[in-house]
Amino acid sequence: MKKNITINLCGRLFPIDEDAYEMLATYEQSLRNYFRTREGGEEIADDIEERIAELFEELKQGGTEAVTIEHVTEVIRRLGKPEEMEGNDQPTPDPSPRKGSSNGQRTSGNESPSLGEGIGVGRSSKRLYRNPADKKVMGVLSGFAAYFGGDVLWWRLCYAAIILLSFFGSSFNFLWFLHEHQLYFHLYYWGWALIIAYILLAILMPIAITPEDRLRMKGKEVNPQNLAEEVASQTPDPSQQVEEPKASGCLGCIGGFFTTLWAVVVLLFRCCIYVAGVLITALCLAGMAEIISTEFFDTSLFPNNDSFLNSAEGIALTTEHLLAGQCFDLALFIVLGITAYAIIHGLLNEAKLIPAMPYGQRVVLLVTWIIGFVITGSLLAYLGPKYTKAERQYNLRIREENEALDREANTHDGIYIQPHEWEFLQDNGWSILRDVRCNHRFTTTGQYMNGDREVRYLDNYGRRQRYRAERVDTLLPGTYRLTCAARANGTGAFIYAIVGDGQPIFKEIPATGNTGGDIWEKANEFVHYHRDVTIPTDSISYGNYQCELAEANRHRGYGWNRITFDPIRITKPTVLRYGLTSDNTFTHRNWLGRWFSATDFEVSNVHDGK
């Protein structure tokens, strides 16, 4: 069942099928577009419409009740010949005789000798379009095949092969050459570049919608004959359409599954294209807003860009630099603006909200975009190194200023001590008396004797450093013993004690490194001895601690040794100074290691005879 409508063509009414009407309307609009730019084009189009009405009248008089798509196709083929429209001196006879004429020549009173006068062949250069008539995703590769030539199948296969080779090439043995010469990563980036390029082309390339667009896409002349053939070729003949048989059973289910899967993949890919277009547009608009803000208001919309703006202060800007910077901002603004406009226009056109952009406008925008891009790149190559150097100088100056403020705030008795170390030294009564090549490191954590990584202890690192940390206690009369734990990986580091105004007493730290040590060895002996012996209740804590010492550093210890001074007898209140040092001006021994540590200093009161 077909739906018929009645049209008014040059004052005459004709019943016509709906699909035939669509084909006729498309052809007539194409002809009007074709003749629009020519002198007297409207009159020519009206004459063609009059001729169509005459041919329909002949069909009506011949007993045709309604014009079908076959009739319209035949009329288009007859009217599409250029020799019939160019008003030659020797007109070519129409192969079909017409009423009221001899030898098939037209004798209608409405015939105008001006029909097609001055009309040459409508040549048009080949143009690049997306081909909606033969597309799998967006019709980009089909448009390339029409423009450059070749079967679209090979274009698609090559495109897919390059992407697959880029992403999965590492699994193929024949790519050893690429890996050996470090070329695989370049190939990998080419895969992403092709995907991004496809997305951008899908947004920016026009769609070949009209017959004129399709002719230009194929590089054919835009003339009435080619327009007629193009319109006829794009309209399916209902009589030739045969419903394809559908597979049944298991094959039908498999085919339906893959068809649905492909539709979902295409839909997701299109969504990615649209999302990418929106994101690129947002970035372009943000860049334009940033240019306006920095150029006219001397401020940045993005906090992270402040250092770059402030770095300009470090350049001795000349008039040439200022002019180059303003030209760069202007060129970049034009590039971003054209990009955003083109994407927005393409998305709106894809949504059928606005018509496609005229070709001339596309050419102007493309040429302007290319010029702006070249200028932007050239000025960036000229100004980039200068601003990069200035930004480094600016950041270096800021860092030096911050370091100077930090040093001033954390310098104690002429020695810079980091805040967390100063807090530890103050809490435990330590003072740093010597700091030569100590790298501002006086304490550390991580290798305490029982493996507790949070415990902080005195420590220094360096081959030629001179380090001295000291603590002072006031002792009442009695007998005292000084003990501590220490380790070193070389000779020349000492624990010392000075009673009153006496001479210093030195105990050299054993160079056991960061494994073993007598504290660890004694802990091992305790654990082995009490392996089969129940530890008394009042010794459980002590036993657990010995187990921790034995198990530290994967049962290797950290090299700690117990340092014990002989008992010191005090007969009157006296000051006891003690600490650790590698200062050869104090010990008269050169330091030959790289690091040493000390902790758990204790001055205990002992009874005589013990």
Least-confidence region, from 11-20, 151-160, 304-313, 554-563: 304-313
Residue 91 has pLDDT above 80, yes or no: no
Q: pLDDT per residue over 171-201, tens digit each? A: 554 444 444 444 444 555 667 777 777 877 7
Q: Which residues of 185-195 are buried (b: 16+ CB within 10 A; e: fewer)?
A: eebbeebeeeb
Q: What is the pLDDT of residue 109?
A: 35
Q: What is the pLDDT of residue 587?
A: 92
> What CA–CA distance (Å, rounded) separates 324 from 385?
13
Q: What is the pLDDT of residue 305?
A: 55
Residue 395 has pLDDT above 90, yes or no: no
Q: What is the pLDDT of residue 484?
A: 96
Q: What is the pLDDT of residue 37?
A: 64
Pairwise pLDDT comparison (272 vs 37), residue with the higher score: 272
Mean of the pLDDT values across residues 10-17?
Answer: 81
Q: What is the pLDDT of residue 458?
A: 95
Residue 586 has pLDDT above 90, yes or no: yes
What does the DSSP 8-state code read for residue 349? H
Q: What is the pLDDT of residue 533?
A: 59
Q: What is the pLDDT of residue 342?
A: 86
Q: pLDDT per residue over 516-528, tens digit each? A: 999 999 998 888 8
The model's confidence at residue 609, banded by pLDDT at 50, 70 and 90, is: very low
Q: pLDDT per residue over 332-378, tens digit each? A: 999 999 989 988 888 887 777 888 777 778 788 888 988 988 898 88
The model's confidence at residue 239, banded by pLDDT at 50, 70 and 90, is: very low
The domains of the chain, with CATH numbers, are 1-123 (no CATH), 132-237 (no CATH), 256-407 (no CATH), 419-513+559-606 (2.60.120.200)
The model's confidence at residue 2, banded by pLDDT at 50, 70 and 90, is: low
Which residue type does 420 have? H
Q: What is the pLDDT of residue 489?
A: 93
Strand partners, 17: 4
In sequence order, which residues have a C-beta less than 8 Å from that of residue 360 and are 6 or more positions away? Answer: none
Output the average pLDDT for the chain.
77
Measure CA 574 to chain center: 71
The model's confidence at residue 115, banded by pLDDT at 50, 70 and 90, is: very low
Q: Which tokens belong to 227?
A: 């327009």
Least-confidence region, from 54-63, 338-347, 551-560, 564-573: 54-63
User: If we measure between CA atoms, which residue out of 496, 507, 498, 490 comes closest to residue 468?
Assistant: 496
The model's confidence at residue 249, banded by pLDDT at 50, 70 and 90, is: low
Mean of the pLDDT values across residues 144-172?
Answer: 77
Residue 559 has pLDDT above 90, yes or no: yes
Q: Which tokens belong to 74?
A: 């035949």
The reported pTM is 0.44
Mean of the pLDDT values across residues 217-236?
Answer: 66
Q: What is the pLDDT of residue 413?
A: 83
Q: What is the pLDDT of residue 173?
A: 45
Residue 223 has pLDDT above 70, yes or no: no
Least-confidence region, from 76-85, 105-114, 468-477: 105-114
As a whole-number percent, the residues of the chain with pLDDT over 70 amount to: 75
Q: What is the pLDDT of residue 579?
A: 95
The model's confidence at residue 230, banded by pLDDT at 50, 70 and 90, is: low
Most confident segment among 91-100, 349-358, 501-510: 501-510
Strand partners, 575: 474
Q: pLDDT per residue over 423-478, tens digit each? A: 999 999 999 999 888 888 899 999 999 999 999 999 998 888 899 999 999 999 99
> Terminus-to-terminus CA distance in the chain, angstroms?
122
Q: What is the pLDDT of residue 598?
A: 96
Which residue type does 29 have? Q
Can you state the angle between helices 319-350 and 359-409, rounded to 10 degrees?
130
In sequence order, which residues have a C-beta less than 8 Å from that of residue 534 and are 6 or more positions away? Answer: none
